[in-house]
Structure 1
C-alpha cells in the first residue's frame, strides 16, 4: 500500500456496511466514509488546491475529521489539525504560519478563525445539527452536496506531506511537525504489529485527534477495518458508558484516568469482559494503579512512548513486562519498536553513553519527522549527524535495552496529556507590567501529573497578586497552559553564564519523587 487514501478505499471495497465510527457525533460506515471523503476530495480540487496545499481543521473529535483526513489524502493536500483549546491569538498565529487554503471549523469555534479566510471557511455542527448561518462561512454539508463522489486519485506518496501538527516551541512559538505519507504508513504497520487489533477490534479513543497518539491509534484501527468509539465530551462517566455500551476491546487511556476508574465504585462494578488491551502513555504507571487496573479490566496493559516528531512510535512496554517484582521494568518506557534505533548520548557532544548512564534519548527510523515547517535552522538543530532525532528527554537504557525516562532536557511540561512549553507561558507573563523576571516549572500534581508554577521576580516597587497574574495569563493563552500557582522570589538562581537554573527551582517540589517530571 503506497497511499493513506488506500486505507479507506480498501475497507470500503471489502466491507462497505461495517461501522467505521460509532459513539458521539455522526456514525458512519466504511462505505459512507469512502463516499463522503471522495466528495471532500472533489471539492478541494474544485477550489483549486494543488499538491502540498494545506487544509486546517479546528474542532473537537468529529466524523468530519476523518472525512477531511481521507479527502485531503485523496486530493494530495495536507491536513493541519488544530488544538481547539488554544486562544484566538494562538490560532491566528498558527494559521498564518501554516497558510491553509481552506479552514473547516466546528460552529462554536468559528469565531476563533480570522476574517482573512472569508470565502474559504467551512463550518459544521456536531451530529446531524445544522450550523447557524454566518457571514463569510459556508455550511460543510451544503458544500459537500455540491460535489460528486468522484475520487480524484490525486494522492501523494513517499515523502509527500500528509499532516502538519503544531507543537509548542521552546522559543515560545509553535512549530509545525511535518509527517510524510511514507512515515505514517510505516508507523501504522509497525504499531499494528505490537497489538492484536484487527477487524473485530472496537477502539475507545477519548483523547483529541490532534494528539498523535489518538490520531495514530484511530488510523491503525480504521486501517485494520475495525471501528473507533468517538468522543466529543470526555468525562469519566461518559467514557465508562461508551466503553461498556460499545463493548470496547481496546482502550486508550492515561494513568490519571485509570486511577479515576479504579477509585470509582460505579466503574469497579462494570462489565469489562470485552476488553483485551488497555494502552496508556504520557507517564509511567505506579504499581498500585497497574495492579488495580489489571484486576478491574482483566486485560493486558501496554505502555507506549513517543513524540509528535516520531508519530508516537518509539518504545513499547509490553504486557509481559507489567509485573511487580525485584526486576520489574514498570518504571521504564519499554524497549524500542522494531525498526526504530535508539541512542543515549551526551547532550553537549552527541557522544554515546554506556548502559545506565543518563543522557539525551535520540531516535532514528522511518517514523521520524521530516522536520519543522519552514524552520530549517530549528530542523537542523533537532538532529545529530546521521539522522538521529534529539527527543529532548533525558534518560538511560539498561543492559536489557529498556529505556528509563528521568527528566526533560528541553523544558517541556506534560500536564494531563497536554504539552506545555514554559517559554510560551513565560512570554505571556512577561507582558504584565509588574513582572521583572519569570521562570515557569512543572510541579507535581496528583491529578494531572504536573502543572505549571510561575516563579516571579517583581519589578522594583511593584506587588504581584498571584490570582490576578493567572487571570492575566488566561487572557493570552489556552487555560491548560496557564500557571496554577505563583511563587514570588527576590531573584532567580543562575549559573555563571546567567542561565536560569530551573533544576534548582524544581528540586524542592520533586523531593521524594522517583522522577523530576510528571
Structure 2
C-alpha cells in the first residue's frame, strides 16, 4: 500500500484504538479475533486491545467459515478485526454461530453493509478521541494472546500466552538477535503465527527496527523488497531458504550488500541447503527453534557460532531464563549429553496452558512442570542443541529409527529438487519404509524417481534409502503457514489411497 507508520505515531494510535474499543464494549477479560493477512495496522489493533486487558486470538486468513467460527467460539471472541476481502468469510462465520457483537474492517467500508453484526471501519474506531480506561494487569496470569496450535498431536487448541510470556520471549530473542534502529526486516511470514508475531513484529518494535510488511509470499515482490528496502535480516522458513538458494529469479537482485542474515525457523534446515544459501547470498544463515507454546523461541544459534560455521544444523543454545531436559520419551528419565530424547522445557515464556483443555495440559506437562514438546533432539558438550524429528513421526525401518527430517535435508542438497517431504509407509517385511514426495526445481523437468533414489546412495545408511517406487513427484508439499511440513496430510492421503485400493 505504501503506507508508513513512524515510531512516534505508534503509541497515540494504540491509545486511540484502546479508547475506541472500550467505548464499544470491549474490556478486560474479553477476547477479540484478528482475521487478516499481514498489515501495517496489525500491531495497532493488537496492542490497542491488549492495553485495556483484552486478549486477541489470531486466525489464518485461509480458514473456511466453519474453521473461523469454531475458533472464535472456542476462544469466546465477541468482536473481530478483518479486511475487506475477508468480510464474506467473517460474516459467514458469524452466521454459523460465532457470537460477534461488532466487526471492524481495516479497509474502506463496502457500499452495502453485510447482514449480521454491526460493521465499522478501523479508521473510525481510531477517530473517536476518547480516553482508554486504566486497567490493572497481572503479567504472569493475565492472558493477552491466544494463537491456536495442534501441540504434539490432535486438533488445534487455544494457547494461552500471558503478558509475561510475550515480554519474556521478546527479551530472550533480542539477546541473540541484537537488532537496532539501523536494521530493516521483511515481514513475509504471517503475523497471525507466533513466529511472525514475536520474532519479527514484536522484537523489531522493541528494538526500534523497521519492518516492511507483505500480505503474503509473492516471489517478485519479495525479491523487490529485499533489494529496494535494503533488508538487513530476513526471517524465513526452510522453503524460503530453498527459494533464495536455488531459484533463477534471485540472480536478478544479486548482490544484496545490506543483507546480513537469514534467520530460519519453523522446521529443521539441512546443512547442504544452508551452505548453498550462504554461498549464493553472501550472508550468515542461522537457525532457531521454538513452538507456539513457548511464545515461541527457546533456542537460538549465537551469531559468533553461525559466522564460524562450526555448528551447522544446530538450533543453538537455550535462551536465557529457561531450563531444558532431554528425556527418555517412555520413562521421562533425563538422558546424558549426546544422547537423543524428547526435548522438555520450562521457563517464563512457556504458556499458561491450553484454553479449556485440562486433559491436554495434563498430557503436555510432566510432574516437574516441564512442557513436553514431542520433538526428539540432543545437546552436545558445547551446549548446542540439535532437533532430529517429531516423536510420532519417526519411521521405524527394521527396528531402526529413521527421522524424516534427516532424509528431507539430504534430498534438499540435490540441485534438481525444490522441495521434499518424507513419511513412513507400512511394510510387512520391514515394519515401515520411507516414501518421498518431491517438487522438481525449475529447469529440471526431466528428473526421474531413479535420479532421486540414486542421489541418496552413499549419503545415508542403507536402511534409510528410498527406493524409486517410493518417490512421488508433486506440485507442492503441504505446509503450515509457518513452513512446517504437514506430514499428517500426506499420511491421510496414503490411508485414503489404501482404502480405495482395498475397496476396489
Measured against the shorter chain, the TM-score band is 0.7 to 0.9
Tell me what 1:214 maps to.
Answer: 196
What pairs up with 1:122-271 in 2 under 5 angstroms? Answer: 122-126=103-107, 129-132=108-111, 133-136=113-116, 137-141=118-122, 143-145=124-126, 147-148=128-129, 150-154=131-135, 156-159=137-140, 160-168=142-150, 172-217=154-199, 218-268=201-251, 269-271=253-255
The Cα of 1:183 is off from its aligned counterpart by: 1.6
Q: 1:292 to 1:27 in 2, by over 3 A?
A: same
Tell me what 2:75 maps to.
Answer: 98
Contact in 2 for aligned 1:333/1:404 (Cα 8 Å): yes
Q: What is the TM-score of this pair, normalised by structure 2?
A: 0.75
What pairs up with 1:416-427 in 2 under 5 angstroms? Answer: none
Contact in 2 for aligned 1:38/1:149 (Cα 8 Å): no
Q: Distance in 2 between matches of 1:138 and 1:490?
A: 47
Moved more, 77-86 or 262-271: 262-271
Tell me what 2:494 maps to.
Answer: 486
Contact in 1 for aligned 2:299/2:317 (Cα 8 Å): yes
Q: Distance in 2 between matches of 1:87 and 1:447?
A: 29
Contact in 2 for aligned 1:36/1:149 (Cα 8 Å): no
Within the alignment, does 1:57 sit opposite 2:34 as a pair?
A: yes
**Deviations along 1:72-103, whole A, 9 cap, x unmatched?**
12111111111122222222111111011211
The Cα of 1:304 is off from its aligned counterpart by: 0.7
Q: 1:388 to 1:232 in 2, by over 3 A?
A: same
Tell me what 1:114 maps to.
Answer: 94
Q: Distance in 2 between matches of 1:122 and 1:410?
A: 40
Q: Distance in 1 between matches of 2:234 and 2:123?
A: 35
The Cα of 1:285 is off from its aligned counterpart by: 3.0
The Cα of 1:411 is off from its aligned counterpart by: 5.3
Q: 1:320 to 1:189 in 2, by over 3 A?
A: same
Please give the secondary structure, in 1, of the residue aligned with 2:171: helix
The Cα of 1:316 is off from its aligned counterpart by: 1.2
Tell me what 1:421 maps to.
Answer: none
Within the alignment, does 1:303 sit opposite 2:287 as a pair?
A: yes
Q: Distance in 2 between matches of 1:380 and 1:124?
A: 39
Q: 1:82 to 1:411 in 2, by over 3 A?
A: farther
Contact in 1 for aligned 2:232/2:258 (Cα 8 Å): yes
The Cα of 1:257 is off from its aligned counterpart by: 1.2
Q: Distance in 2 between matches of 1:226 and 1:356?
A: 38
Match among 302, 312, 316 for residue 300 of structure 2 = 316
Contact in 1 for aligned 2:314/2:387 (Cα 8 Å): yes
Within the alignment, does 1:361 sit opposite 2:369 as a pair?
A: no
Contact in 1 for aligned 2:109/2:121 (Cα 8 Å): no
Unaligned runs of 5+ in 2: 396-403, 412-416, 427-477, 479-484
Q: Distance in 2 between matches of 1:179 and 1:80?
A: 10
The Cα of 1:393 is off from its aligned counterpart by: 0.5
Pairs aligned (count): 417
| CA RMSD between the two structures | 3.2
Unaligned runs of 5+ in 1: 1-23, 414-440, 456-473, 493-518
Contact in 2 for aligned 1:281/1:303 (Cα 8 Å): yes
**Deviations along 1:366-396, whole A, 9 cap, x unmatched?**
1111111111221122111222110110122
Contact in 1 for aligned 2:94/2:100 (Cα 8 Å): no
**Deviations along 1:434-477, whole A, 9 cap, x unmatched?**
xxxxxxx999585455378998xxxxxxxxxxxxxxxxxx9xxx
Contact in 1 for aligned 2:354/2:360 (Cα 8 Å): yes
Tell me what 1:32 maps to.
Answer: 9
Q: What is the TM-score of this pair, normalised by structure 1?
A: 0.73
Contact in 1 for aligned 2:81/2:106 (Cα 8 Å): no
Q: Distance in 2 between matches of 1:130 and 1:261?
A: 38
Q: 1:119 to 1:318 in 2, by over 3 A?
A: closer
Within the alignment, does 1:77 sit opposite 2:54 as a pair?
A: yes
Contact in 2 for aligned 1:287/1:324 (Cα 8 Å): no
Please give the secondary structure, in 1, of the residue aligned with 2:266: coil
Contact in 2 for aligned 1:334/1:402 (Cα 8 Å): yes
Within the alignment, does 1:374 sit opposite 2:336 as a pair?
A: no
Q: Distance in 2 between matches of 1:72 and 1:490?
A: 48
